[in-house]
Amino acid sequence: MNNLNGIYHKLRKMQPKAARTLVRDILNNNSGNVSLTAKILGISRITIRRARDGSLEDMSRRPKNIPNRTPFEDLILNAEEETHYRYRLLSKFIKLKYGFDISENTIKAVLKRRKIKGKRIRTSNGNVRHLYDYEHLTPFIELQMDTKYILDKKALPKDVYDYILENNLPIFEWNVIDACTRTRFTAYSYQLSAEYGFSFIMIVLLWLRTHNVKEHIRIQLDNGSEFCKGSKKKENQWNELFSLLNAHISPIPIGAKHLQGIVENSHRVDDQSFLSIHPIRCNTVDRFIEKAQQWQDTWNTARPSFGIDMDGMTPYEKFKKKNIYASEHVFNFPVFLMETLISKNGSSMQWLYRYLGLNFYSMGGKYVYTTCHIKLSK
């Protein structure tokens, strides 16, 4: 009888189902005598009854009720799933979007209880290193540029994908985003080419110079075929021309997409807030460009950003806070179709020659708002 004393606990640790089966077998051999079975196995009568009346499998130990569950828990979880922010940014995001002031500690407790961990990207020594010195960054001197293929089946619903094809809407999006203010400049096209890449950079630079942005501008981009495609010769040729506007391009190393984090993150927001919704409301290209203009204006002047050093401000608010001499009319950048722009206004070299003929960027004195001499046609 004593030989079985303690065997239940050892078997329970390895195979709970086998341990309860053992209890039932001994109980049946003793005509259902609970006390005798408990004495043989050296366990309590309650354990015998649980093995007899309950399931052979382990039951969940999760409580039926969570007494410390907050009334806003579902709201916090939905906001986290939408943004993937951590507790500090989530608190600001929820207050701005829903009007609820939930403390950072409450959000941190909810995320910890639900075992939701944030994604952290660190250097090899474990330290966080930002792409820019955001605190001292000046608006419109550090830009990131990228293109997006709109017909991405992994990003858009099938009905939107089919609608864009059926109505012959643009399939490529061109974006330049300012690292300091997150201001964006957008265009669309039906194809990718180096001519379009050079032209879009040129029109953004001309727009900034016309609106009194005078410091040196660096544009960071990848090595796509619409840019320099890894060709050092082409990069030098482009930079020789851009130097006339006190600017240069800086291609990222191959495989270093994380350096384009700001503009890459904007693509995800585009998919969620614009491309998944509005294209199916547009049956013409002009209507699509009009909707894209509204989205760019919303992004630049109404949508709060929670990126590094943005603190929930819109790009326009961050621009005003920096208090630089550039004109606020820079936010009136028109969204356009690349094919239409080039066919109606000539090559980008013609734009450059016209601009340099004005010698506008070398003028000193008080800024006076002037209409850009390069007409942008939609």
Answer whether residue 255 is part of any domain. Answer: yes
The domain tally of the chain equals 3
| Residue 99 shares a structural domain with residue 13 | no
> Looking at the domain assignment, is residue 223 inside a domain?
yes
**Do both 198 and 303 map to the same domain?**
yes
Looking at residue 11, what is its pLDDT? 85
- Does residue 118 form part of some domain? no
Residue 375 is assigned to a structural domain of this protein? no
47 and 82 assigned to the same domain: no
| Residue 92 belongs to some domain of the structure | yes
CATH number, position 216: 3.30.420.10
274 and 200 share one domain? yes
Q: Are residues 103 and 38 in the same domain?
A: no
Asked if the structure places residue 128 within a domain, the reply is no
Instruction: Specify whether 164 is located in the same domain as 276.
Output: yes
Domain co-membership, 153 together with 26? no
Residue 235 lies in a domain: yes
Residue 378 placed within a domain: no
236 and 304 both lie in a single domain:
yes
Per-residue pLDDT tens digits of the chain, which is 378 residues long: 455 777 888 888 888 888 888 888 988 988 889 998 888 888 889 988 888 888 888 777 766 666 666 778 888 888 888 777 778 778 888 887 888 888 888 888 888 888 887 765 555 555 666 778 887 889 999 999 999 999 887 778 888 899 999 999 999 999 999 999 999 999 999 999 988 999 999 999 999 999 999 999 999 998 888 888 878 898 999 999 899 899 999 998 888 888 888 998 888 888 888 988 889 999 899 999 999 999 999 999 999 888 888 888 999 999 999 988 899 999 999 999 999 988 888 777 777 777 666 443 343 444 343 444 444 444
Residue 137 structure tokens: 């960054």
CA torsion angle for 16, 17, 20, 22 (degrees, to 10)? -110
Is the domain of 145 the same as that of 292?
Answer: yes
pLDDT score recorded for residue 248: 95
236 & 172 share domain: yes
Q: In the sheet where 172-178 sits, what is the strand order? A: 247-251, 217-221, 142-149, 172-178, 184-189, 336-337
- Can you give the pLDDT at residue 327? 93
Q: Can you give the three-state secondary structure of the chain, one letter per residue?
A: CHHHCCHHHHHHHHCHHHHHHHHHHHHHHCCCCHHHHHHHHCCCHHHHHHHHHCCCCCCCCCCCCCCCCCCCHHHHHHHHHHHCCCHHHHHHHHHHHHCCCCCHHHHHHHHHHCCCCCCCCCCCCCCCCCCCCHHHCCCCCEEEEEEEECCCCCCCCHHHHHHHHHCCCCCEEEEEEECCCCCEEEEEECCCCHHHHHHHHHHHHHHHHHCCCCCCEEEEECCCCCCCCCCHHHHHHHHHHHHHHCEEEEECCCCCHHHHHHHHHHHHHHHHHHHCCCHHHCCCHHHHHHHHHHHHHHHHHCCCCCCCCCCCCCHHHHHHHHCCCCCHHHHHCCCEEHHHHHHHHCCHHHHHHHHHHHCHHHCCCCCCCCCCCCCCCC
Residue 212 and residue 261 in one domain: yes
Q: Indicate if 220 and 319 belong to the same structural domain.
A: yes
pTM here is: 0.68
What pLDDT shows up at residue 95?
Answer: 83
**pLDDT value, residue 299:** 94
What residues make up the domain containing 78? 73-113
**Residue 298 pLDDT:** 94
